[in-house]
Amino acid sequence: MNMATQNTIYEEHLLAYRRSSRAQKGALLNAVCRVIGVTRKAATRRFNILLSRSPDWKDTRGGVQVYGPDVTTALKDIWDLAGRICAERIHGKIATYVQQFQWSHCWKHQPETTRLLCQMSLGTMKQRVGKFGNLYARCSRGSTKPSGIREIIPIRKGPWHNPSPGYGEIDTVAHCGTDLQGDYCYSVQYTDVATTWTCLAAQWNKGEEATLMSITGIKERLPFPLLGLDPDSGGEFINWHLLGWTKQQDPVITLTRTRPYMKNDHARIEQKNYVNIRKWVGYERYDDSQKVAVLNELYRVLEDYLNFFIPSVMCIRKERQPRKRIKRIYDTPQTAYERVLAQTDVNQRVKEQLQRNYATLSMVTLKCRIDTLTKQLTARRHKQLR
């Protein structure tokens, strides 16, 4: 029984309690205690408090509401624009996202609402965002099988130790729905360790040559040289095609692999398979080869959206707390674009080119294009089911 229900019971019996005799009050208290589940002392104290209040008493507990429904609506617009990420990543970018809306003439909220939104604390924002709900639930099937020639590529053990930009983790995501049989689309994702720069590619099945073509395209779109690849033990990566290609590159690309069945060795890429792919294309089965082109068109737009506008956090250290509890300390949320600009190992010409690209992009336009392509994928799927 919640507090509101208890207060209703007390208020309904307050007049009878006031006019009753001593014996009648005892019987009334026994009934109230039996229903609410409190002691006689607590019930008596509550009745006396209600009797001592004046007729014009108003409950002023909780303070004045500062952030009303209009601010919550504005926050939800920002949350949708940012791809429904967590409040910790949104909080430091509120002004930037509002500016993106204003540049596209899509910001319909009042100046006072905007001011309150920009001054909202992280705790309040976490509370509001937590009530918005999620678009997709996590549910999928794994399709990675260890390759038979695992000895040709060394295993990388332990965490990354501040590598230069260009060393990253790579993985595939199967768009098989609930059935692993037959042919369907796959997505290849590369995440840079130092800068969190993300590259995406779609392909038909996960053959060795198709995967190599996807990686070649990722290498060409990466703003800095590709220096190292760290996949899992799947056969699409652990093969002679990819190993020979890495040795032919200039500079030579270091190819390592993680331990089988140890997904924590691949923590960066595993956690981004959902936020960068599943959240946008869902868990449906794409078994039409024509959807590879649509997925690749979506990924070209999604790369700019994620790398230039969506911030992420990185664990910078771990501290052991009392009772052997380990607390992770994260840095300030930053976009991959901001992390590249802060890197001293990246060529200045690359940074200038990225700055020119950033000046031509509109976050609102990118998000609208992403929504259009996502609906196009869903519409085709529903049409096939009919």
Q: DSSP of 229-246, one letter per residue?
A: EE--SBTTTSSHHHHHHH
- At residue 141, does pLDDT exceed 70? no
The predicted pLDDT at position 143 comes to 64
What percent of the chain clears pLDDT 90, i.e. is strictly above it?
A: 53
What's the half-sphere exposure (Cβ side, CA atoms, 13 Å) at 67? 19
Residue with tokens 């049409």: 383
Q: What is the value of pTM for the model shown?
A: 0.75
Instruction: Tell me: pLDDT of 144 over 70.
Output: no
Q: Of 164, 165, 166, 162, give the one whose Cα is nearest residue 226.
A: 166
Q: Is the dihedral of CA 73, 74, 76, 81 positive or negative?
A: positive
The domain made up of 150-385 has a fold known as Nucleotidyltransferase; domain 5 (3.30.420)
Give me the count of residues in the chain. 386
Q: How far apart are CA 201 and CA 187, in angstroms?
A: 6
The pLDDT of residue 265 is: 79
CB distance 29 to 10 below 8 Å: no
For the cut 90, the answer to whether the pLDDT of residue 153 exceeds it is no
pLDDT-derived band at 166, boundaries 50, 70, 90:
very high
What does the block give as tokens for 166? 């260009």
CB–CB of 75/129 below 8 Å? yes
All structural domains of the chain with their residue ranges: 3-52, 69-129, 150-385
Please compute Rg for the chain using Cα positions: 28
Of 364, 208, 175, 198, nearest to 287 (Cα)? 175
**Cis amide linkage into residue 251, ω under 30° from 0:** yes
Quick check: 225 pLDDT over 70?
yes
User: Is the dihedral angle over the CA atoms 367, 372, 375, 376 positive or is it negative?
Assistant: negative
In a 3-state reduction of DSSP, which class is residue 172? strand
> Which is more confidently placed, 13 or 262?
13
326 strand-pairing partners = 320
H-helix or E-strand spanning residue 296: helix 291-309
Per residue in 284-327, pLDDT (tens digit) is 899 988 899 999 999 999 999 999 999 999 888 888 888 778 88
CA distances from 71 to 61, 65, 367, 374 (A): 22, 11, 21, 28
Q: Is 43 exposed, middle or buried (0-12, 13-18, 19+ CB in 10 A)?
A: buried
For residue 178, what are the contacts with CB-CB under 8 A and spacing of at least 6?
141, 285
